[in-house]
Amino acid sequence: MSPEEIAIRMGLDIPDFDQVGYYGADYGTMKPYHRIGNLLFLSGHVAQIGTHITHKGRLGADLTTEQGYEAARQTGLNVLGGIKQAVGSLDHVKSIVRTLNFVVCTPGYEDVHKVSSGLSDLLVDVLGRERGLGGRATIGVMALAGGVCFETWATVELIG
């Protein structure tokens, strides 16, 4: 089964950024992606639906690890939408090369890796382990634009 078929079967609500527009421009001057050969570099994606940020706050104070995981999972849907905007179909993904994740948290919060698993787990669910599991780094930070609790940058290898 292809990643597109899996996403449909899972009933995922992947945004169509060609229709609704990439929300990143609301945060400053940028383009949604850049492609060099078979590599696709996605600009920052967050847990946002349209103009609504789904999870605001700080892990370890305002949000639980489980809520952070859900924020990362919502971010993953937006990453999938970003891929589709750039190349038209998830079926063009050869692999997730890496993600760099930022978690807004208190200084003592140490479960940033568990939050990022919401993103990684979704990518594996849709793309399969071989395509969807890439390298990953997660950094705890003090703040992100708009009060979001999670942001990721992704690098994707494309087929052909």
Number of domains in the chain: 1
- The answer to whether residue 160 scores a pLDDT higher than 90 is no
Q: What does the pLDDT look like over 61-114, one tens digit per residue?
A: 999 999 999 999 999 999 999 999 999 999 999 999 999 999 999 999 999 999
What is the model's pTM? 0.96
CATH of the domain at 28: 3.30.1330.40
Q: What is the mean pLDDT of residues 38-44?
A: 97
**Among 147, 130, 142, residue whose Cα is nearest residue 51:** 147
Q: What does the pLDDT look like over 118-153, one tens digit per residue?
A: 999 999 999 999 999 999 999 999 999 999 999 999
Which residues in the chain belong to E strands, given as ranges? 33-36, 39-46, 48-49, 52-53, 93-104, 135-141, 150-158
Q: Name 141's bridge partners.
A: 104
Q: Are 23 and 82 in contact (CB under 8 A)?
A: no
